[in-house]
Amino acid sequence: MSLSHRASAITLSVTLALDARAKALADQGHDIINMSVGEPDFAAPKVVQDAACRRVQSGDVKYTPAAGMRSLRKAIGEHVGAIRGTAPYAIDEVTVCHSTKHALSGAVLSIVDPGDEVLLFLPAWVSYVEIVRIAGGVPVAVPSRADCGPDFSAIERAITSKTKAVLLNSPSNPTGYVWSADEVRRLAELCERKKLWILSDEIYRRLVYEGEPNLSPASLGPAIRARTIILDGASKSYAMTGYRIGFVAAPKEVAAGVERLHSHLTGAPNTISQDAYQAALVGSEPLEVAQMCAEFDRRRRWLIDALRGMGLAVPWPRGAFYAFPDVRAYLDERGTRGFCEDVLEQQDLALVPGTAFGVDTHVRLSYALSLDKIKLAAERLGKFLQAHPTRAAAASATR
């Protein structure tokens, strides 16, 4: 049986594959600590749950227009305008999607033609490369600074006559790096000068724990707003991963392109989640959100200290819920993939190898799980590192 080139060339998402493997091992009775997938361990806020239940019980769970319910598009447009300090996005500038991943793929399919290049800043989230490839585009990896911030000379060098867009993800998955306002401004100026789109994946925007909040390029004035495609959703800010709901907020031509695509590929997201998301967005922010962020912050500080205490270099993450330590001293020829396989097999601890994000030097730990589990995970990782001498120590022992 032969598959299309498209389907044969694509790899399964490493994060989702690892999460499935960790869960399967747990089902077989292994005492797994799963730090692989980035999924808040909190329940969605009460208003969200109530709205979902009300919709189910009304019996009115039907198709909605492909771009989503008008009331939700309005709520999203007002919400984005309020948090980004811009005029509200109009209803026709918003398309509701099944997730932020779905919003991103719709946006990429709407603006990228075969051969167009899209710049991705390394380390870059696992699905970016594949989504650009599915659209026939060419992902161009741009290295970052050692602290995981943007390297503008590398970005300028990577731009060619075929560059169509840059993909900004701040706070970043997997590093937790939050671009400073100056960095966002610089990128915006560059994109205006070179006439590029900015695909701005803002799914972690609410999860910034210190310093200046995350800035969207869209906040920098009408000219750059007209080049910015905001991709966001409910999963991380409202602990609504399983609801599968997100959106594109962009110039109306892009929002309409995504709507047309989705009208054939998927249809609108389910009505229950649309109502639930609307309940999260209207009025004041549900109290549970700030509580969840405070708890993530506590775990972040504890985990980074613990990893540094083990002698690992870890970029300080201002946002998201990942730690990204450098483990290259411990790697053999199998790289970070082999490291993660060994940690899973020997310590029942699931981590994500840096190769999933385009760098084979670091591993990702999600701290979206309880502090007790994080403490146990750190103990297991510490034991693993102690049992495996660094390459330098192994070399000097054989001399």
Residue 344 CA to residue 365 CA, distance in Å, equals 13
Structure tokens at 187: 């990128």
State the CB neighbour count (10 A cutoff) for residue 381.
24
Of the candidate residues 15, 214, 237, 355, the single one contacting ligand GLU (CB under 6 A): 15
Structure tokens at 30: 């292994």
Q: Given the complex with ligand GLU, which of 127 and 271 has the nearer CB atom?
A: 127
Residue 174 CA to residue 122 CA, distance in Å, equals 10
In whole angstroms, how close is the CB of 292 to ligand GLU at the nearest point? 16
In whole angstroms, how close is the CB of 36 to ligand GLU at the nearest point? 7
State the CB neighbour count (10 A cutoff) for residue 203.
25
List binders of ligand GLU among 63-122 (CB under 6 A). 101
Asked whether position 37 contacts ligand GLU by CB under 6 A, the answer is yes
Asked whether position 317 contacts ligand GLU by CB under 6 A, the answer is no
Q: Given the complex with ligand GLU, which of 34 and 228 has the nearer CB atom?
A: 34
In whole angstroms, how close is the CB of 141 to ligand GLU at the nearest point? 17
Q: Given the complex with ligand GLU, which of 312 and 320 has the nearer CB atom?
A: 320
Position of minimal CB gap to ligand GLU: 38
Contact 216, 84 (CB under 8 A): yes
DSSP state of 88: P
Q: Is 231 helix (H, G, I), strand (E, B) or coil?
A: strand
Instruction: Give the interface size with ligand GLU as a residue count (CB under 6 A).
Output: 10
Q: Given the complex with ligand GLU, which of 47 and 126 has the nearer CB atom?
A: 126
DSSP state of 319: B
Question: Which of the stretches 11-19, 49-57, 261-269, 302-310 binds ligand GLU when contact is defined by CB under 6 A?
Answer: 11-19
Task: Tell me the pairing of strands 363-366 and 322-323.
Answer: antiparallel
Q: Is 145 helix (H, G, I), strand (E, B) or coil?
A: coil
- Taking the CA of residue 145 as centre, how many other CA atoms within 13 Å lie in the half-sphere pointing to its CB? 10
> From residue 134 to residue 173, what is the string marking binding to ligand GLU with x (rule CB under 6 A)?
---------------------------------------x
Q: Given the complex with ligand GLU, which of 38 and 315 has the nearer CB atom?
A: 38
Q: Is 228 helix (H, G, I), strand (E, B) or coil?
A: strand
Q: Given the complex with ligand GLU, which of 127 and 214 has the nearer CB atom?
A: 127
Residue 313 CA to residue 290 CA, distance in Å, equals 29
In whole angstroms, how close is the CB of 323 to ligand GLU at the nearest point? 13
Structure tokens at 313: 């270099």
List binders of ligand GLU among 351-380 (CB under 6 A). none
In whole angstroms, how close is the CB of 262 to ligand GLU at the nearest point? 18
Q: Given the complex with ligand GLU, which of 16 and 53 has the nearer CB atom?
A: 16
Q: Given the complex with ligand GLU, which of 20 and 90 has the nearer CB atom?
A: 20
Of the candidate residues 34, 38, 197, 201, the single one contacting ligand GLU (CB under 6 A): 38
Residue 352 CA to residue 346 CA, distance in Å, equals 15
Evaluate the CA torsion angle 377, 381, 386, 387 in order and state its sign: positive
Instruction: List, as own/partner pairs, every contact residues 291-294 make where C-beta atoms lie below 8 angstroms and the sequence separation is at least 24, other chains included.
Output: 292/40, 292/42, 292/239, 293/206, 293/207, 293/209
Q: Given the complex with ligand GLU, which of 38 and 325 has the nearer CB atom?
A: 38
Of the candidate residues 13, 71, 180, 361, the single one contacting ligand GLU (CB under 6 A): 13
List binders of ligand GLU among 168-197 (CB under 6 A). 173
In whole angstroms, how close is the CB of 364 to ligand GLU at the nearest point? 8
Contact 159, 300 (CB under 8 A): no
Residue 346 CA to residue 171 CA, distance in Å, equals 32
| Best CA proximity match to 262, nearest among 109, 132, 90, 80 | 109
In whole angstroms, how close is the CB of 91 to ligand GLU at the nearest point? 28
Q: Given the complex with ligand GLU, which of 47 and 352 has the nearer CB atom?
A: 352
Of the candidate residues 6, 9, 11, 16, the single one contacting ligand GLU (CB under 6 A): 16
Binding interface with ligand GLU (CB under 6 A): 13, 15-16, 37-38, 101, 125-127, 173
